[in-house]
Amino acid sequence: MAPSVSLYISNTLDGFIARADGAIDWLTRIDEIDTDYGYAAYYDSIDGLIMGSTTFELIRSLGPWPYPGKPSFVFTRRDLQAESGNIYFVTGDPQQIVGSKELSRLKRLWLVGGSALIASCLKKNLVDEYILTVLPVLLGHGLRLFPSPVAEQWLSLVSCRTYDRGVLQLHYRKIKSEEGLPQ
């Protein structure tokens, strides 16, 4: 059985996950607050990570690999190197990779980013859960969290939390077709 895919990500109020050049410097202003926004509990709840190669390189450039205890599957067509035995480079359709025998032992995957992989997972209807931490900043342009076109999906609100400095966290689950639309 394929693991569930969870998109846990920060975005701006106007729907961007990074500047046009991929920079996420706007995140550091919020990171200075001594709050983890539920990150530690979320991280403990996942079995593995999937991400695009640009996201992998950005994370790797920030310091030591922050996910040493979890298998990380990096989607890429390039020849990248890993400093950890828990990083696996994969090529192909996300639906096939997530449904593969290698990942069937995992129950919950964190879709870390980036925008191209998120778009591909959305197109294949792979995302089961959305945990969006909305920061009170407008960038005006950049890399969209949900680039068009996005297939219509109905979601059920699991929770909504507010934090200091105007940070909002929305948690949604995908409604399966047999569950019907929300009332």
Identify the segments of the chain with pLDDT beneath 70.
30-34, 177-183
Query: Which of 108, 139, 98, 125 is CA-nearest to residue 10?
Result: 139
Which pLDDT score, from 0 to 100, does residue 83 have? 78
Which pLDDT score, from 0 to 100, does residue 39 have? 92
Q: Does domain 4-179 have CATH number 3.40.430.10?
A: yes
Which pLDDT score, from 0 to 100, does residue 42 have? 97
Which pLDDT score, from 0 to 100, does residue 181 have? 63
For 1-51, what is each residue's pLDDT tens digit? 889 999 999 999 999 999 999 889 998 776 656 678 899 999 999 999 999
Which pLDDT score, from 0 to 100, does residue 33 have? 64
pTM for the whole structure? 0.91
Which pLDDT score, from 0 to 100, does residue 41 have? 95
Q: State the pairing for strand pair 16-18/143-144.
A: antiparallel
CA angle 80, 95, 122 (to 5 degrees): 95
Q: How far is CA 173 from CA 8, 27, 113, 124, 163, in A?
A: 12, 25, 18, 16, 21
Which pLDDT score, from 0 to 100, does residue 79 have? 87
Which pLDDT score, from 0 to 100, does residue 180 have? 64
For the chain, domain boundaries: 4-179
